[in-house]
Amino acid sequence: MLVLRLLNVVAPAYFLCISLVTFVLQIFLFIPSMFRDPSTTPLFSPALLHGALFLFLSANALGNYVLVIQSSPEDLGKGLNLGKGAEMVADWLDGSRSPGSALPNTHFCRLCARVTQRHDHHCFFTGNCIGSRNMRNFIMFCLYTSLACLDSLVAGMAYISAALSMSFANPLAFLTLLPHSISQFFSGALLSSEMFVILMLYLWLGIGLACAGFCCHQLLLILRGQTRYQVRKGMVIKARPWRENLQEVFGKRWLLGLLIPVLNVGSDYRRQKEK
């Protein structure tokens, strides 16, 4: 548990550090290298379009990241006399202490120490639980993070291609880039800044693929009306049309959420409580 709590603090700092490094490389290295003659650069040049695209992707990724943290799943255990200690609360919600009395679709997170509605999982990179209130923002965060990493990967490859006078037309060139660059770095033929960019290329590739795969997995679960917690526990859910499952998570303003970071529409439990 101590290791998990430490990871819950280190992982967000690691993500913010990677985001800051990516922003600095893009703004001060990759984009300026695309300008051959700034005085004659047209308004809709590839460099300016790339810069605008990167800023759009970064703003959406960081905006949804902040909304995931701010829109924390509501603690349904507040005000309930469930006994003393987290263990008794967890037993009550799992139904082991009082069968049939547990709240439906709820889970007690030991790291957050709260009961959440439609709990999916605990995200260490946000230090927060993912539930009904912030699921849409979490998916948008994963989507735009993967796109921003892909954009940085392409820009970094273009920079390395020009700096080292090499071509990535052969797919094996990227696979052999790292070992070849390490040998050149220790022999003094490669600058430390260029070696750092090459290492970042593989980091962007890994983060981008991981976020894209996680986003696709979450969308498949949403289409089926399930959460990761329900799948892990083998819970049986009532089958519903996939359109209703999507609308429950993304709401009626789903197109607006694709363009700018907006708050989630809220869970069914919250709407019922407001009524």
Number of separate domains in the chain: 2
Q: Are residues 7 and 97 in the same domain?
A: no
Residues 140-181: tens digit of each pLDDT: 999 999 999 999 999 999 999 998 888 888 878 898 999 999
Q: How many CB atoms lie within 10 A of CB 49?
A: 12
Q: Are residues 148 and 219 in the same domain?
A: yes
What pTM did the predictor assign?
A: 0.84
Q: Are residues 17 and 145 in the same domain?
A: yes
The arithmetic mean of pLDDT across residues 246-262, rounded, is 83
Q: Are residues 101 and 88 in the same domain?
A: yes
- Which DSSP state fits 199? H
CA distances from 259 to 82, 85, 146 (A): 42, 43, 15
Per-residue confidence band for 82, with pLDDT thresholds at 50, 70 and 90: very low
Answer whether residue 211 is part of any domain.
Answer: yes
Q: Are residues 98 and 158 in the same domain?
A: no
Q: Quick one: pLDDT at residue 235? A: 82
Answer whether residue 114 is part of any domain.
Answer: yes
Q: Are residues 80 and 147 in the same domain?
A: no
Contacts with 52 (C-beta within 8 Å, 6 or more apart), sequence order = none
Here the tokens at position 201 are 């290329």
State the residue range of the domain holding 244: 1-35+42-72+136-163+191-274
Mean pLDDT, the chain, rounded, equals: 81
The arithmetic mean of pLDDT across residues 91-102, rounded, is 43
Q: Quick one: pLDDT at residue 261? A: 87
Q: Are residues 15 and 91 in the same domain?
A: no
Answer whether residue 184 is part of any domain.
Answer: no
Catalytic residue list contains 109 = no
The arithmetic mean of pLDDT across residues 132-139, rounded, is 89
The arithmetic mean of pLDDT across residues 227-255, rounded, is 85
Q: Quick one: pLDDT at residue 256? A: 79
Q: Are residues 62 and 79 in the same domain?
A: no
Q: Is the pLDDT of residue 220 over 60?
A: yes
Here the tokens at position 244 are 């209703």
Q: Are residues 150 and 64 in the same domain?
A: yes
Q: Are residues 146 and 267 in the same domain?
A: yes
Tell me the three state secondary structure of residue 224: coil
Here the tokens at position 236 are 């049986």
26 vs 77: which has the higher pLDDT: 26
Which one from 123, 142, 149, 211 is the annotated catalytic residue?
123
